[in-house]
Amino acid sequence: MTYTPQTRAEVRLGSSNLGEDLGFFGRVLGMRLDMIYPADSPSVAVYSGHGLRVRLEQGTDAPMGRLRILSDAVDAIADGARLLTSPGGTVVELDELNPPLILPETEHAFVVRRLADQAPWVIGRAGMMYRDLVPSRLGGAMIASHIRIPDGGPVPDMVHFHKVGFQLIFCYRGWVDVVYEDQGGPIRLTAGDCFIQPPEIRHRVLEASDGIEVIEIGVPAEHITEIDHDMQLPTPHRRPEREWQGQKFVFNQAVGADWLPHRLSGFIARDTTISANTGGVAGVQVVRRGQGGLQWTRHDADIHFTFVMEGAMTLEGEGKDPYRLSPGDAFVIPPGLATRYADPTDDLELLEVTLPGVFATTTV
């Protein structure tokens, strides 16, 4: 018979007054006393609760500590207090387990980020390389990342989810296989395709081609990624109509797409259906050169981000120096600024992401 070792972990905390700490950890914090000794003059007590096991020691070298307790009923603990100090010196923070997502107010700016400027690539989650396309992040309102994996193959990813308001994954080069909660088996995203990852949908990146590159847009810029150690993907049922916080999962493919006149004269676009499936939270279009003249326009979108995928154009802005842009470049146009896309090449292709999905464009 094979013996299976049993293990458990404890956090050691010093206590300058163990006698009064017993009441604090038990009655105030609602933890369970598991062990205490010696009986006649206790100097050690072990409490468990809130997913934690704490060993309180008086008269030893154990340091004073700080605990953070998160709960979806935080006001029911310690009479709603949010910061306490135990009689023995332990500082206790109490906070929401699932705090509401805060969307920072957008700090509007005219931004141009060019690949030729040699912006650094940094190593991020799961060994992927990231290039920041909007360094200011518009005051924390959004993040735009150019992500690449030089060497293809299996990706060392885990089932995870993001606490976001909006998130786009657009495949720029190569292909990547991803599996999503309630969306069936693995889905291959190829160049020109995109996913909308609704808030908190579980997913896992499985494998990628050599030289895979994607553009990822997230709102807000700083958001939490959590690992789900319990969910197994794929899930047993496919539910394409399911919504996460009012948004549906979108897998939009470039092949066979309809091209229609764009809001800007002289251009055509294919709609990715993202505006319709996010309730208008955001819109994503791929834009190409069409027929007709090029005009100066203004828009009233809160966020207007564009990435140059193919070809070239000159971005002209009211009171700004013109920028000749090529593949890998990105720009943000703030609301109210008059701009024009001048001298576009016939092979120009742009990825346009806006929040909200529907907004007004006026000719200057």
∠ CA 291-114-124, rounded to 5° = 120
Nearest to 215 by CA among 351, 356, 357: 351
Pairing mode of beta strands 303-310, 339-342: unpaired
Model pLDDT, residue 121 = 82
- The total number of residues shown for the chain amounts to 364
> What's the CA gap between 150 and 157, in Å, rounded?
16
Model pLDDT, residue 66 = 95
User: How remote is the C-alpha of 224 from its chain's centroid?
Assistant: 6
Residue ranges per structural domain of the chain? 11-96, 111-251, 260-363
CATH class of 260-363: mainly beta
Low-confidence ranges of the chain (pLDDT < 50): none
Domain covering 11-96 in this structure, CATH number: 3.10.180.10
Any idea which architecture 111-251 has in CATH?
Sandwich (2.60)
Place of tokens 């309630």: 182
Answer whether 111-251 and 260-363 agree in fold.
yes
Q: Residue 40: is it exposed, middle or buried by C-beta count within 10 angstroms (0-12/13-18/19+)? A: exposed
User: How remote is the C-alpha of 210 from its chain's centroid?
Assistant: 24
Task: Kindly report, residue by residue over 184-221, the tens digit of the pLDDT.
Answer: 999 999 999 999 999 999 999 999 999 899 999 999 99
> What's the CA gap between 324 and 272, in Å, rounded?
27
Query: Residue 188: in which H helix or E strand, if any?
Result: strand 187-190
The partner residues of 339 in beta bridges, in order of sequence, read 297, 317
Model pLDDT, residue 179 = 98
Task: Kindly report, residue by residue over 126-182, the tens digit of the pLDDT.
Answer: 667 889 999 999 999 999 999 998 888 998 899 999 999 999 999 999 999 999 999
Model pLDDT, residue 126 = 61
